[in-house]
Amino acid sequence: MASGSLVCYVCTNKRRENRKCEWLYGIVGDSCWICGYNKGEKGRYVLDFHHIEEKKFPLTKRNIGQYSWDEVLREAKKCMLVCCRCHREIHSEILQKEDVEKKYKTIWEKLACNSAVECNLDMVEVGGSNPSMPTKYDFFIKRRLGDFERKCSLCGNIFYSKFSNKKKFCSRKCSEIALRKAERPSLETLKNDINSMSFVKIGEKYGVSNNAIKKWAKQYSLI
């Protein structure tokens, strides 16, 4: 920690990573969901988050610290906690996929019920074939006394923050969209513009650089 009003960036990141990891393991536990391996807090280095549903980012300690808590929680809902051995057996298909998915659903159902009571869990919307299994991750956990309920200025989702009025967006994605200097055209509009104009002319039309237009085109898979 630096002296005066300056704060060490590395120390801040480590505190944020440790805090979110404690929250996450407080929900999913310290045991392998398949074989029951449990060595307490020290055994977490042997445990992996295996994705059952489509992966947005791996749940490493670094990513847990970098992404917002809401994003981490959404990603965790796609995973099951397994030890390194069971993880290898899943990918080598020694363990049957149907048995693994059944275990995943069963434990998350149990955790959802327990968290709702113990962690003030608000399951705003549930869906899918199993009504007790939240498939849209519209739930948030108030971990600290005094957290403020906030509404995202962009998407309208409810989230919790320790700041009453500083945090305006529920996730990094919403923040990035809100900070865009120009409104992006739709896929069809941009496609027509590319067919009729150069990137420089399109950039002038929307008030951005030609490189920005190329990035938009790449995101739409047009180039």
The tens digit of pLDDT for each residue in 179-218 reads: 887 888 888 898 898 899 898 998 888 888 889 888 888 8
Claim to verify: residue 24 and residue 105 sit in the same structural domain: yes
Q: How confident is the model at residue 46 (pLDDT cuts 50, 70, 90)?
A: very high
Distance (Å, rounded) from C-alpha 192 to C-alpha 202?
10
Claim to verify: residue 14 and residue 121 sit in the same structural domain: yes
Q: Is the pLDDT of residue 27 over 90?
A: no
Mean pLDDT rounded to a whole number for the chain: 78
Total number of domains constituting the chain: 2
Closest CA to 140 of 132, 152, 130, 128: 152
Task: Kindly state whether residue 188 falls inside one of the protein's structural domains.
Answer: yes
Q: Is the pLDDT of residue 223 over 90?
A: no
Task: Say if residue 206 is exposed, middle or buried (CB neighbours under 10 Å; 0-12, 13-18, 19+).
Answer: middle
Claim to verify: residue 117 and residue 185 sit in the same structural domain: no
Task: Kindly state whether residue 137 falls inside one of the protein's structural domains.
Answer: no
Which of 91, 107, 125 terminates a domain? The answer is 125
User: In which domain, by residue range, is 94 found?
Assistant: 9-125
Task: Kindly state whether residue 140 falls inside one of the protein's structural domains.
Answer: no
Query: Is 0.75 topped by the overall pTM?
Result: no
